[in-house]
Amino acid sequence: NAGVTQTPKFQVLKTGQSMTLQCAQDMNHNSMYWYRQDPGMGLRLIYYSASEGTTDKGEVPNGYNVSRLNKREFSLRLESAAPSQTSVYFCASSGLGGDQPQHFGDGTRLSIL
């Protein structure tokens, strides 16, 4: 039972480098989400995809882009990494609608030097 799988688990980047965080779910969920988790800030929504073919900005989208590749996969890209993007990133998926519980991946710990 894989659920939501994120890769990589850890990554260190230099300022200005780019990278893509990958997320895949095997629960046939329509909706997928990217969050960042920072001390004292809780989980903040970066982008989400309510259904295949759609993406929307969340609370903190600046500096990020996303791609809903298909129903299973939702990637998050940092085009030019900045130290302020040092965080733990979580991907989640759910059935359609805000009343549906979300299932989370293990997270990616990203450090930008």
Partner 1 sequence: AQRVTQPEKLLSVFKGAPVELKCNYSYSGSPELFWYVQYSRQRLQLLLRHISRESIKGFTADLNKGETSFHLKKPFAQEEDSAMYYCALGGGNKLTFGTGTQLKVEL
Residues near partner 1, by CB under 8 A = 31, 33, 35, 40-45, 48, 50, 56, 58, 90, 92, 96-107
Q: How far is the CB of 80 from partner 1 (least distance, A)?
A: 26
Cβ nearer to partner 1, comparing 21 with 81:
21
Cβ nearer to partner 1, comparing 12 with 41:
41
Distance CA 110, CA 26 (A): 24
Q: Where are the beta strands (DSSP E) in the chain?
A: 4-7, 10-13, 19-25, 31-38, 42-49, 56-57, 64-68, 74-78, 87-94, 103-104, 108-112
Q: How far is the CB of 84 from partner 1 (least distance, A)?
A: 18
Q: How far is the CB of 75 from partner 1 (least distance, A)?
A: 18
